[in-house]
Amino acid sequence: MEVTLDSPIQFVPRVGPRMASLLAKVGVKTVYDLMTYVPFRYKDYSLVSPIARLQPGETVTVVGELEYIRTFITKNGKRLVMARLRDESGAIDITWFNQLYLTKILSAGDTLSVSGNVGWFGQKKVLSSPEYEVLHSAGENKDSLHTGRLVPVYPETNGLSSKWLRGRIAFVLEQYLSLIQDPIPEYIRVSHHLPDIQHAIQTIHFPDTLEHAALARERLAFDELFMLMLQSQQQKRWWKQSLKAHALRISKNQLNEFVSRLPFTLTPDQLTAVSDIISDLASPTPMNRLLEGDVGAGKTVVAAAGMFAAFLNQQNSALLAPTQILAEQHANTLRLILEDTFHIHIHLILGGSKKTPPPPKTSIPAIYVGTHALLSKASELPDFGFIVIDEQQRFGVAQRGALRNQTKERVVPHQLSMTATPIPRTIAQTAFGNIDISVLHTLPKGRVPIKTWVVPTSKRNAAYEWIKKELSNTHSQAFVICPLINESETLTTVKAATSEFVTLKKIFSPLTVDLLHGRMKADEKTEALTRMHDQKTDILVSTPVVEVGIDIPEATIMVIEAAERFGLSQLHQLRGRVGRREKPSYCLLFTENETPEIINRLKALETVHNGPELAELDLKLRGPGELFGTRQHGVAGFAIATLSDTELVARVKQTVNDLTNQDPSLSQFPYLRERLQGSKIDTIQS
């Protein structure tokens, strides 16, 4: 068969189904994927030296003839391969550990190029476990892959080595690189001094210098950012031009009545967000807005204003929540705000042990709150004019679309997404180009900042005594968060929830200690949270499954084990589980890694209590991958680009704006438009 850029990778010679399955684990499925699977660093084997000049500690390449190669057994009974390489200046011994197969593929008389570190083996200078290549002649090293140059090192998985990847990548570059068209218009490449795409891909794998590698990386990073931002703008353009919604208009007096009858006073941020939403709803263009705010910032109340507007316009609303506990909390809040005051019916639809039947369809508009069960019952529910999706990254694109697709073709509900994940301004401007954003910076009146301390190992026992005394005296509750469920043989210093649960039951006796983690059954999780909510549990030992959507009013202490393993944003969300009322609340960050960099990063939480500010700091310190973990948090993953490169982000953003202002439909750039339509970029706004 003819191999193209889109061909499955298994059809490339010397790949096959087995290696294709390993490549799939690192996201490589097609020929194009393999070409653009970029190295994360390089080994510098470019220094080629005569053997006589080798010095311990050097990283070098030597070329010579193999005098012998054989298996050697050490005094400890370990087997290693030993060889001797000779050039015109002298000879050096080579050792390879755990590579006995080398005696079958290397023979005395072979001309080898060998690259590695010079060290000692007893009293002799040796090359230990070096890279090697068999050459036909001593002068052949010019086009080598593994020695005598800057050698690329790739992200690997078990059974997939950088050496194997180098060979297959070199092959596909030679055979298929010419098939790649450049998606970036030439005038943009020229104005930004960018190399063409074929040159950049070739160079990122096999550069002559690190400077050349950096230029290639910049070009490919530019592409990633460019395609993401352009896709976002095109999605927004399509959304506005192709979809319609019911205009949900509300008078100023009606809005004032809603605000005045709330049982609390809205913050300035909440008032601004409500104004934004009401303005969006009044348009026949469907709203697509993200409401960001810390845990407890009052997002549900803001969403309720939109539901109130929908009700006045004879439209139903839906609120989709990721967990049963969170759905119940939202329903209770909305009953307080809307049902008790304005007699708007709130229907709660749950699955599992609390499964509830869908309410009968009526002509009176209502609000439907639920978990995934709301999606499964979508066909039995009325059409919606307004939907709210809380922590929408926890739902798939198809799931989120299920609520929209109940309406007539091209007429969709207004959509408000809510998240407690702090989003740095840089990411908001880049990955959310097709969505409007409202941010709640301030906490409602009565919420006090949580006192946060970084606790060294030497003060652990004293901290336990203080926690026990504090819980007993104030009749409050505590969380203890552990990164792992079970103990790990490799991460021996990292606390695990199951073992800590046993330990802390003894330490905190007679206080009651309970356990919660992600491998428990849904009913078991709900029961553990219910016991905590009903104050039958004093201390809940948990993994980070409590990060979102748990409201325990009497919880005042948050303990986080191995805090250095979390990003600042996630730590901030976890500490938001406490301090839900006016009681003084505390967050204790335990760490056994007391390097200055770790301690300084964690201490930022002692003084900074603003989520987006912490997220921006985390972006600079750790990068977006650490901020958002895996793709479950919905922000597009980058193989090369980093959003902490604010100068490049700004350049690309301006370029995209200029291009779309000049040619909104990309009619002058058909290949770019084709690439965009086939793009695999997955953004949170989908």
Bridge partners of residue 411, in order along the sequence: 244
If we measure between CA atoms, which residue out of 277, 607, 245 comes closest to residue 438?
A: 277
Residue for token pair 């290639």: 216
Whole-angstrom distance, CA of residue 284 vs CA of residue 246: 6
| Superfamily for the 252-440 domain | P-loop containing nucleotide triphosphate hydrolases (3.40.50.300)
In this predicted structure, what is the pLDDT of residue 683? 35
Topology of the domain comprising 451-608 = Rossmann fold (3.40.50)
Concatenate the DSSP letters of all residues of 428-474 into one string: HHHHTTTSEEEEE-SPPTT--PPEEEEE-GGGHHHHHHHHHHHHHHH
Whole-angstrom distance, CA of residue 628 vs CA of residue 421: 8
| Phi/psi at 592 (5° precision) | -105, 0
In this predicted structure, what is the pLDDT of residue 251? 95
Residue for token pair 């203890």: 480
In this predicted structure, what is the pLDDT of residue 629? 36
Under-50 pLDDT residues of the chain: 138, 396-398, 400, 489-490, 624-636, 680-686
Residue for token pair 């005594």: 465
Topology of the domain comprising 47-148 = OB fold (Dihydrolipoamide Acetyltransferase, E2P) (2.40.50)
**C-alpha count within 13 angstroms, C-beta hemisphere, residue 104:** 3
In this predicted structure, what is the pLDDT of residue 529? 86
Going from N- to C-terminal start, the domains of the chain cover 47-148, 252-440, 451-608
- Tell whether pTM > 0.85: no
Q: What is the CA radius of gyration of the chain?
A: 30
Are 453 and 588 contacting, i.e. CB atoms less than 8 angstroms apart?
yes
In this predicted structure, what is the pLDDT of residue 625? 45
Between CA 10 and CA 19, with CA 14 as vertex, the angle to 5 degrees is 50
* Within this chain, domains 252-440 and 451-608 share the same CATH topology: yes
- Token pair recorded at residue 391: 């922590």
Identify the burial level of 341 via C-beta atoms within 10 angstroms of its C-beta, where 0-12 means exposed, 13-18 middle and 19 or more buried.
middle
Between CA 425 and CA 434, with CA 431 as vertex, the angle to 5 degrees is 105
The set of residues, in sequence order, having a beta carbon less than 8 Å from that of 343 and lying 6+ positions away, is none
Whole-angstrom distance, CA of residue 641 vs CA of residue 587: 34
Whole-angstrom distance, CA of residue 206 vs CA of residue 486: 42
